[in-house]
A = this chain, B = another copy of it.
Amino acid sequence: ADEHFTDAREAVGFVRQFHDEQPAAGDPAARIRAVLDEIDRTGTYEHTPAELAYGAKLAWRNAARCIGRLYWRSLVVRDLRHLSSADDIAAECFDHLRTATNGGRIRPVVSVFTPDRPGRPAARIVNQQLVRYAGHPGADGRWIGDPAGAQLAARARDLGWKCGEEPFEVLPLLVQERPGERPEWYELPEDTTLEVRLSHPEHPWFAELGLRWYAVPAISDMTLEIGGVRYPTAPFNGWYMGTEIGARNLADADRYAMLAPVAERLGLDTSSDRTLWRDRALVELNVAVLHSFQEAGVTVADHHTESERFLKHVAQEKRLGRPTPADWSWIVPPVSGGLTPVYHRYYDPVDLAARPAFVAREPW
């Protein structure tokens, strides 16, 4: 039994937890026997739709780095396990984005495609996120776009994609059906990628910076692991916490690096770190992000609100007798950490072996 593709102990553990937490599912004994029998015969087993849906929610609930877990029960789980071709995956990723976007009222969604099976590893989405911007050195040597999108842009260009010259060029989706094969690439249809142009509530010049960001952060390079079954193609999204855009994507020196340009337009004294010009520019960049998403009617959370929600989640889980392992350094926001209630406490220790979980995808 040890040589089975799918770990029987993981399978049994998950089925037990599913039945524990979902009493309506009835007695687990029969289901456990069926699962073990299926693993014996085929090396793996198939989740029921209810198991898949609940397993995906548990994976979210177990995400120790995620501050957004209060709403874990509301995850929309799209069961697409019958799909494994690049064309189908791409088409359904686009539908995922439309469903998640929901005209701006972002919905947390996961789309689950065919899992790894004995001798048949699943297809993979090459992109880190379904929507992201390309980056490349321009003709004059200056960087254009998002350095975090440079590798994928280069790869897509090798496959025949034509990259534009603007700083916010949406990357195509690359799907690889099998190890060693050339990925297929697909331009994202217009209606899949809602974007927000950034402006500032007090500084009209801010809009002239020409900044924007997309509405749906959808991670597409993690494996969803449930009861020993690995789903490497399971893109998921929540809504943005503003700091992810304003304090990392647009601020980091190895991303859009906008602090200096913003500080310049703000007229700040940048002669010394002591003037806290970076800190001031950072706050204004984040003000612009929250303001612009709100004006555009696109869901976004500020870090104060999301911190309070998270502590509510911790308290709620505690009442249910469950710990909430959390990774302090990921939970505390990168802006004004000390101002948020999540800063002033410790959390249950992270258990890297906890499952179901979203885990780093292993190379083929």
Contacts from A to B (Cβ < 8 Å): 201, 243, 247-248, 251-252, 259, 273-276, 278-280, 282-283, 286-287, 290-291, 294, 302, 304-305, 328-329, 332-339, 343
Contact = CB atoms under 8 A, between A and B. Distances in A.
Nearest to A343: B334
B279 A286 contact: yes
Given A243-B338, A329-B329, A334-B339, A290 B274 contact: yes
When A and B form their complex, which 10 residue pairs have the shortest distance between CB atoms, in order from nearest?
Answer: A334-B338, A273-B304, A337-B337, A279-B336, A274-B302, A279-B283, A247-B338, A274-B290, A328-B329, A276-B287
Nearest to A290: B274
A334 to B, nearest CB: 3
A294 B222 CA distance: 49
18 contacts: A243-B338, A251-B339, A252-B338, A273-B302, A274-B291, A275-B290, A276-B283, A276-B287, A279-B283, A279-B335, A282-B336, A283-B283, A328-B329, A329-B329, A329-B332, A332-B337, A334-B338, A337-B337
Given A247-B336, A276-B302, A334-B339, 5 more contacts: A273-B305, A282-B339, A329-B332, A332-B332, A334-B336
Contacts of A259: 339
- Copies per complex? 2
Contact of A251 (B247, B290, B329, B338): B338
Contacts of A305: 273-274
A332 to B, nearest CB: 7
A248 B338 contact: yes
Given A335-B336, A338-B247, A283 B280 contact: yes
Given A334-B339, A335-B336, A286 B276 contact: yes
Most buried by B among A287, A291, A328: A287
A335 to B, nearest CB: 6
A203 to B, nearest CB: 13
Contacts of A278: 304, 336, 339
Nearest to A252: B338
A302 B274 CA distance: 6
Contacts of A276: 283, 286-287, 290, 302
A174 to B, nearest CB: 28
Contacts of A283: 276, 279-280, 283
A262 to B, nearest CB: 13
A302 B279 CA distance: 11
A338 B252 CA distance: 8
A39 B12 CA distance: 58
Contacts of A247: 336, 338-339
A22 to B, nearest CB: 36
A283 B275 CA distance: 10
A318 to B, nearest CB: 21
